[in-house]
Amino acid sequence: MTQTPPMVPADYPEGPALDDDPEDGSRRDFLIAGSTVAGASMIPMSSLSAASARNKAADSVRQTSLTLTVNGERRELQIDNRQSLLDLLRESLQLTGTKKGCNQGACGACTILVNGRRIVSCLAPAALYDGAQITTIEGLASGDQLHPLQQAFIDHEGFQCGYCTAGQIMSGVACIKEGHATSEREAKYWMSGNICRCGAYAGISAAVVEVARGGQS
């Protein structure tokens, strides 16, 4: 019985494909690189200069002069308009006590006081706070003398890993000042925006209420 040969497409290439030649790839790469260099050399220098000028102009538009009083010290800064207060504190002023947690305003790790009120600094565009009075965890103690709430956190073991502690303390200071710490239940409610993944809430609320009842804020 005679076998019928398999059908071969009319456009089937004869002989080995170009990619089978080990030298062909290197020749092709050389040609591509050469054409790229040649094309780049044809770009007028005036175009490059104009592009550089546009980039510099864009950078200047994104910059803002800002004056803040941070922990009692006046600071004059040149900042990127897109910078948050959190990033300004951590990256520009090296005040790393304020932590970056979720960076979405949901965990409270970045809580600071601005003009006496607590805010989550990750959602606060720094450019909107020119002239503001800012207090961070670094500004609570007086020399070697801890703030009463800092000491109460130690006494009541209000922290474990410590990552949320700065935000918890800053929120607690504001909570006491607001008059929202007359009981542990009330303190927990008004500090519910501060998350402790270690679950040290009992110590945290006890510390806040103790300082509130002692009249210290």
Per the document, the length of the chain is: 217
Per-residue pLDDT at 192 exceeds 90: yes
Q: Is 25 within the bounds of a domain?
A: no
Report the pLDDT averaged over residues 121-131.
Answer: 97
Q: Cβ–Cβ contacts within 10 Å for residue 152, how many?
A: 24
**CATH number of the domain where residue 159 is located:** 1.10.150.120
13 vs 194, which has greater pLDDT? Answer: 194
161 vs 51, which has greater pLDDT? Answer: 161
Considering all CA atoms of the chain, what is the largest pairwise distance in Å, rounded to the nearest integer?
108
pLDDT the model gives residue 187: 96
pTM: 0.72
Q: How far is Cα 152 from Cα 154, in angstroms, rounded to an integer?
A: 5
pLDDT the model gives residue 35: 63
Q: How far is Cα 101 from Cα 70, in angstroms, rounded to an integer?
A: 21
Q: Which residues contact 106 (CB under 8 A, 6 or more apart)?
A: 195
Residue 136 · residue 170 · CB < 8 Å: yes
- Assess whether 193 and 154 both reside in one domain: yes
Report the pLDDT averaged over residues 162-170.
Answer: 98
pLDDT the model gives residue 100: 97
**CATH number of the domain where residue 106 is located:** 3.10.20.30
* Range from 54-58, 132-136, 164-168 carrying the lowest mean pLDDT: 54-58
Q: How far is Cα 133 from Cα 70, in angstroms, rounded to an integer?
A: 6
Distances, alpha carbon 170 to alpha carbons 31, 76, 98, 154, 214, in Å: 63, 24, 10, 15, 18
Q: Is 27 within the bounds of a domain?
A: no
Provide the domain limits for residue 114.
Answer: 62-139
pLDDT the model gives residue 113: 98
Distances, alpha carbon 45 to alpha carbons 38, 78, 91, 166, 195, in Å: 14, 31, 36, 53, 56
Per-residue pLDDT at 20 exceeds 60: no
Q: Is 149 within the bounds of a domain?
A: yes
User: Domain total for the chain?
Assistant: 2
pLDDT the model gives residue 62: 85
Report the pLDDT averaged over residues 77-102.
Answer: 97
